[in-house]
Chain A
Amino acid sequence: MNTPTLSELEAQATKAKSAFGADAHIVCDNLVRIYKTEGVEVVALQGLDLLIQKGELIAVVGASGSGKSTLLNVLSGLDVPTAGLARVAGMDLLAMTAKDRLRYRREVVGFIWQQTARNLLPYLSARENVELPMKLAGKARKDRAAQLLELLGVGYCAARKPAEMSGGEQQRVAIAVALSNSPQLVLADEPTGELDSETSEEVFEALRRANRELGVTVVIVTHDALVSEQVDRTVGIRDGRTSSETLRRAGAEGEIIAEEYAVLDRVGRLQLPRDFMNALHLERRVRLELESDHIGVWPAREEPSDEH
């Protein structure tokens, strides 16, 4: 037996083990969020793990009720998780004071909601809407609003009120509002949910431009699986946990290749896609076999019933 010596164990223990996702921009580790109303507990996030690098453009996709909006609220500093670890740009979202939280919302994060009307104050012009967060933070910069609107292709809307703009224009102004305080992270909750595909394309283009030119990390939450075609990486959420990832990369001949991966968590848990399980009638337990370059998963053997 290759028993480690005491000194070896000691060395192993003292060796600085790099923390989970220490270098990532956004780290969610075993994140739990439980809503309690009248004694009924709803577990919206049940141990979610997520790592996002700086400058990434990523989509979080999930069905209604999968917990993606909760995740977004947690990341935007509007909601506090019940347990786990959530860190954005080195700030621990669970341990922030109210003052930190305010600073976080002012300097680190910007966000865009699905409802165009909810993003903008109806009685302010586009420029005034963009200036509002800067004024709130007390550091209004001249021309910043105009620049942002120009960058996002809605410079001509500067003097218009939301009611005088199309849905796409409103959302692009909303992106400008989210970017006004130069955040490191922009969160978007179904930003194209109310838009047709053509307009959606404009909005995604605007987000991509912000990501590319300003180096902002962009996280888009949506239930629309087709969004994955618009982003580099798509994280799927199921039942309050990350279940799959789709990576998009350019192939050898310039074509776009999208590959779907299952997510393996730190302790080795894996969530099998539902249709795989259904196809092979995987239930309760499976048999695993380690091969040289993969792991095989088989349905459990039919065992003779004890009753016979």
Chain B
Amino acid sequence: MRTLLARVHTGPAAVLAVLTLSACLLIAGMPRVLQAAYDEGLRRTLSTTSAQEHDLVVTSMYGDVLQERGQFEARERAFRKVLPPGLASVVTTGGTSHIAAATVETPAKDRARQYINVGWLSDLARRVDWVSGRPPGRTHTTYVPDQRKFGTVPVVEVGVSEDAAQRMNLGIGTFVVLGVSHHTAIQVTGIYRPKDAADGYWEHNLDAYKVERRLVPGAEEPDLYITTLTSDQGLRTLSDGNRRVVYSWVFGVDTERVSAREVPGTVQAIKDFQRAVAVEVGSFNQGRLETGLPRRLAGFLGSLATAQTVMYLVLGGLVVVALGVIVLAVRLLTERMDAALALMRARGGSLPQVTSAGLAQVALATLPAALAGYLLAYLVPGPLTPIVHVGPLLVPLCALGYAAVRLTLAHRTPLNERRDDVTSAKPSTRRITLEVMIVALALAGAYLLRSRGVTTEVGTQGQDPFLLLVPVALAVAAGLVTLRCYPYPLRAIVRLAAARRPAVPFIGLTLAARARSFTVLPVLILLPALAVSVFASVVSSGVSSTQELAAWQQVGAQIRAEHEVEIPPEAVRRIERVPGVERVVTAETGLAQIARSHIAVISIDLAAYQDVLNAGPVRLPPPPTGPGTPVLVSPKLPRDVTFTANWHVPMKLTSAGVIDSLPGMGSQGEFVVMPADANERSGTPTRVNLALIKGDADPAAVAAAANLPGLRVRSQAQALAEIRQAPLTSTVQSTLVMVTAALAGYAMIAVIMTLVITAPARARTLSFLSTLGLSPGQAQRLTVLEVSPMILITALAGLGLGLVLPAALGPGLDLSAYTGSVAVGGYRTDLLTPVLLGVGLTAVSVLGAYAHTALGRRRSLGSVLRVGD
């Protein structure tokens, strides 16, 4: 019986199955793709960090006396023991992990500005190749030549790096006395070279590999720092409590193992470890954990939270729409079964029997499809998150729940004959109250969203689920309002049509104006689908245009060439001759002292510069005019005053206007824009150090033509590519595009399904009218007129809502993480995509209506009129 029912309704069941499968695939697959993208983003964020920044380094100094290798290793084991589980999984045992000890800033006697530390590395032997000499070994004591008063000093054998041996003149056999009060001598026995200098290991021990130069203010030459490396024996001597020795245990972090989901846990684990380390080492020894990982992770969490918010918004809309379409398909299937189930009910089927028979069909269509979708999602690359398992369950549950409610209501009483052909049921008070509540909630949510922001503080406080629901709630609210209101304008048109002679518009629009219950679902699907897809496309294009703006703001021209000192006029002329270069505007930038503070100044011909900027979205104010040397100042500097700026020479300037921002000057901070000849007016020549180039030239060719060492050339295209390649940015962009496409698809399905659901009723009406003399052409026009107003009005409402949403939620949605820190403001209403969506949808519905009547014509009138008579 049940299998028979299923066989009879294969069409709707297949549609339901396909929809369920795709929705489950979507719900299970999208989070995986996104999670993988988040992980990739995290990897890319961490890959730019040095080992020194992301590794965990436990240091201990003062009073902690460890002399034997065994003591260090025991301490390491103790640290590993208190490593929180969240951290233990990412900390490596090999890799960059090691133990080190070294003296700090040990001055070398008789060697001016040289500091030679003595250090020890637990795995020195496998980290270096000995270029000459031998590895350090035993320790002995000696009298320092010519300095008998020191008494005996220990002599520690050390090895030095090639760089140190060369730059600090530490050849094999060199003997140096170190220290100020407690003297130690070192003797160089070998020169080594790191086996793999690029290994993160050497970032922790940089001065054991390269000489470090530190320039002290006022000094003419830099101080040189080096750490020499000694043996286990040397360590014993070194660490006898007479010297300041810093011990460090480096725990390498495998950044590949950190997943985006575990970031908050990892941050917490680091804090826990910090406390545990302090306890383990003892506060007296100043034991502490040093790592830049939490800061990096916090930064990542910030942009991740924003990405997740946007994803939740659009994916939430997508899920709602997908479920809506599935509910529509369930309705189609159950409506097809209604006749059989009603007969069963009348013939003595109990409500549970009838409902379960119907539910079995829905289950048969959805459960295997959901399982298939779930399994297919395993083909999608990405980690398994709980939503991957729970999400696909939601779809059949939703379908079965709706089917259960609908079947129960439809067959609660046998032979439930409603005369909805005569009157439309008036909405109940309960329903109106519910609708008003949804609209009020959506509006209140939108207000909260505007005032609080949906992405602010998400990094620390997490997402607010209520605010995340606001856009969807707004769409549903708009749908409800549309549903309640759309018959009114139509009725007005009907009244106009009634006065005219042709009958088709009148009948068609009258049919359309009669609010039938089945129009509820399509409107509630179509509207959010359109709204969210338009929202996604507007946000997406807003983000791209803001990225472009940000790139222009960063570079300030199609190509920017700057030099620390000067770009000579010949170099400028050579640049001008590069193919593709249309114009070069030169400028001089620098820092001038204005009233005790240093402020960025630039002297540039603004009119010429505007010509360069014409290719981009940035517009400049007109050049300053007025007596003296008129300048434009940034908003916080005083206006309409004359002041003195000390640049190359003191200059008298008059602030003649305000300029909000100048590309390339950064968005923060103060600056002054002077005329190009400002220096000349004060009697000094202009030393051009910035060339802003208009034209589509190759940056490399520009650099080559200038032939100027130290010239930095950067193009706007490069900057844009960098912004777009930033972690997560491409994920956000591509997801927005994907969601737009998926929603458009769902909207089309909803329209087609509505046509199919309403087909029997329409066929009856049309057949009846045909007996009264309606021609097939008129029947087609009638169908189009009946179907299109609802879709047209819904499309318009969805379009409107989608366009308003970014503006309404804009202040609450901080997408600057993806646009090179420039806030996405003033979403340009790029109407192309939204209008295409709306037009496409309407076209599909109209074509569907035509096709439908064309197909319907094949059936004979008699058979149609007898159907369900």
B773 on the A face (CB < 8 A): no
Q: Please report the C-alpha to C-alpha distance between residue A137 and residue B348 in the assembled complex, in whole angstroms.
A: 7
Residues of B contacting A78 with CB < 8 Å?
346, 413-415
B340: which of A121, A133, A137 is its contact (CB, 8 Å)?
A121
A38 on the B face (CB < 8 A): yes
B216 on the A face (CB < 8 A): no
Given contacts A78-B415, A123-B4, whether A133 and B869 have CB atoms under 8 Å apart is no
Q: Are B869 and A105 in contact (CB under 8 A)?
A: no
Q: Are B343 and A118 in contact (CB under 8 A)?
A: yes
B8 on the A face (CB < 8 A): yes
Residues of A contacting B349 with CB < 8 Å?
136
A79 on the B face (CB < 8 A): yes
A260 CB to nearest chain B CB (Å) = 33
B514 CB to nearest chain A CB (Å) = 14
Given contacts A37-B419, A73-B415, A78-B414, whether A105 and B426 have CB atoms under 8 Å apart is no
In the complex formed, the residue of B with least CB distance to A124 is B4
Given contacts A78-B414, A121-B340, whether A38 and B423 have CB atoms under 8 Å apart is yes
B633 CB to nearest chain A CB (Å) = 73
Residues of A contacting B414 with CB < 8 Å?
77-78, 105
Q: Are A37 and B8 in contact (CB under 8 A)?
A: no
Q: Are B347 and A105 in contact (CB under 8 A)?
A: yes
A60 CB to nearest chain B CB (Å) = 18
B351 CB to nearest chain A CB (Å) = 8
Residues of A contacting B422 with CB < 8 Å?
37
A212 on the B face (CB < 8 A): no
Q: Are A177 and B869 in contact (CB under 8 A)?
A: no
A132 on the B face (CB < 8 A): yes
A296 CB to nearest chain B CB (Å) = 46
B363 CB to nearest chain A CB (Å) = 20
B317 CB to nearest chain A CB (Å) = 38
B347: which of A38, A73, A136 is its contact (CB, 8 Å)?
A136
B9 CB to nearest chain A CB (Å) = 10
Q: Please report the C-alpha to C-alpha distance between residue A132 and residue B343 in the assembled complex, in whole angstroms.
A: 10
Q: Please report the C-alpha to C-alpha distance between residue A106 and residue B415 in the assembled complex, in whole angstroms.
A: 15
A135 on the B face (CB < 8 A): yes
Q: Please report the C-alpha to C-alpha distance between residue A230 and residue B603 in the assembled complex, in whole angstroms.
A: 114
B350 on the A face (CB < 8 A): yes
A123: which of B7, B351, B353 is its contact (CB, 8 Å)?
B7
Residues of A contacting B348 with CB < 8 Å?
102, 105-106, 133, 136-137, 181
Q: Please report the C-alpha to C-alpha distance between residue A206 and residue B348 in the assembled complex, in whole angstroms.
A: 23
Q: Are A132 and B415 in contact (CB under 8 A)?
A: no
Q: Please report the C-alpha to C-alpha distance between residue A38 and residue B424 in the assembled complex, in whole angstroms.
A: 9
C-beta contact mask, A234-261 vs B, less than 8 Å → 1, else 0? 0000000000000000000000000000
Residues of A contacting B112 with CB < 8 Å?
none
C-beta contact mask, A121-158 vs B, less than 8 Å → 1, else 0? 10110001000110111000000000000000000000
In the complex formed, the residue of A with least CB distance to B5 is A123
In the complex formed, the residue of A with least CB distance to B347 is A133
Q: Please report the C-alpha to C-alpha distance between residue A31 and residue B7 in the assembled complex, in whole angstroms.
A: 44
Q: Which of A161-220 contact B (CB under 8 A)?
A: 177, 181
A79: which of B343, B415, B869 is its contact (CB, 8 Å)?
B415
C-beta contact mask, B330-354 vs A, less than 8 Å → 1, else 0? 0000000001100110111111010
Q: Please report the C-alpha to C-alpha distance between residue A135 and residue B5 in the assembled complex, in whole angstroms.
A: 15
Residues of A contacting B772 with CB < 8 Å?
none
Q: Which of B1-33 contact A (CB under 8 A)?
A: 1, 4-5, 7-8
A279 CB to nearest chain B CB (Å) = 38
A46 on the B face (CB < 8 A): no
Q: Are B7 and A177 in contact (CB under 8 A)?
A: no
Q: Please report the C-alpha to C-alpha distance between residue A111 and residue B347 in the assembled complex, in whole angstroms.
A: 8
Q: Please report the C-alpha to C-alpha distance between residue A136 and residue B344 in the assembled complex, in whole angstroms.
A: 8
A115 on the B face (CB < 8 A): yes
In the complex formed, the residue of A with least CB distance to B349 is A136
Residues of A contacting B423 with CB < 8 Å?
37-38
Given contacts A78-B414, A121-B340, A124-B4, whether A177 and B419 have CB atoms under 8 Å apart is no
Q: Are B353 and A136 in contact (CB under 8 A)?
A: yes
In the complex formed, the residue of B with least CB distance to A177 is B347
Residues of B contacting A111 with CB < 8 Å?
346
Given contacts A115-B869, A123-B4, whether A132 and B419 have CB atoms under 8 Å apart is no
B233 CB to nearest chain A CB (Å) = 94
Q: Please report the C-alpha to C-alpha distance between residue A128 and residue B5 in the assembled complex, in whole angstroms.
A: 13
A285 CB to nearest chain B CB (Å) = 38
Residues of A contacting B344 with CB < 8 Å?
132, 136
In the complex formed, the residue of A with least CB distance to B342 is A118
B1: which of A38, A105, A135 is its contact (CB, 8 Å)?
A135
Residues of B contacting A38 with CB < 8 Å?
423, 426
Residues of A contacting B7 with CB < 8 Å?
123
Residues of A contacting B340 with CB < 8 Å?
121
Q: Which of A281-300 contact B (CB under 8 A)?
A: none
Q: Please report the C-alpha to C-alpha distance between residue A77 and residue B415 in the assembled complex, in whole angstroms.
A: 10
Q: Please report the C-alpha to C-alpha distance between residue A102 and residue B350 in the assembled complex, in whole angstroms.
A: 6
Q: Please report the C-alpha to C-alpha distance between residue A102 and residue B419 in the assembled complex, in whole angstroms.
A: 24
B339 CB to nearest chain A CB (Å) = 8
Q: Are B8 and A123 in contact (CB under 8 A)?
A: yes
Q: Please report the C-alpha to C-alpha distance between residue A181 and residue B348 in the assembled complex, in whole angstroms.
A: 10
In the complex formed, the residue of A with least CB distance to B344 is A136
B859 CB to nearest chain A CB (Å) = 16
C-beta contact mask, A98-123 vs B, less than 8 Å → 1, else 0? 10001001100001000100110101
Residues of B contacting A115 with CB < 8 Å?
869
Given contacts A37-B423, A79-B415, A123-B8, whether A105 and B343 have CB atoms under 8 Å apart is no
What are 15 A-B residue pairs whose CB atoms fall within 8 Å in the complex?
Answer: A37-B422, A78-B414, A78-B415, A98-B351, A102-B350, A111-B346, A119-B343, A121-B340, A123-B5, A124-B1, A132-B1, A132-B344, A136-B344, A136-B350, A177-B347
Closest CB pairs A-B (n = 9): A106-B348, A78-B415, A136-B349, A133-B347, A105-B348, A38-B423, A136-B348, A123-B8, A78-B414
7 new A-B pairs (CB below 8 Å) besides A102-B348, A105-B414, A118-B343? A38-B426, A78-B413, A102-B350, A105-B348, A106-B348, A136-B347, A181-B348
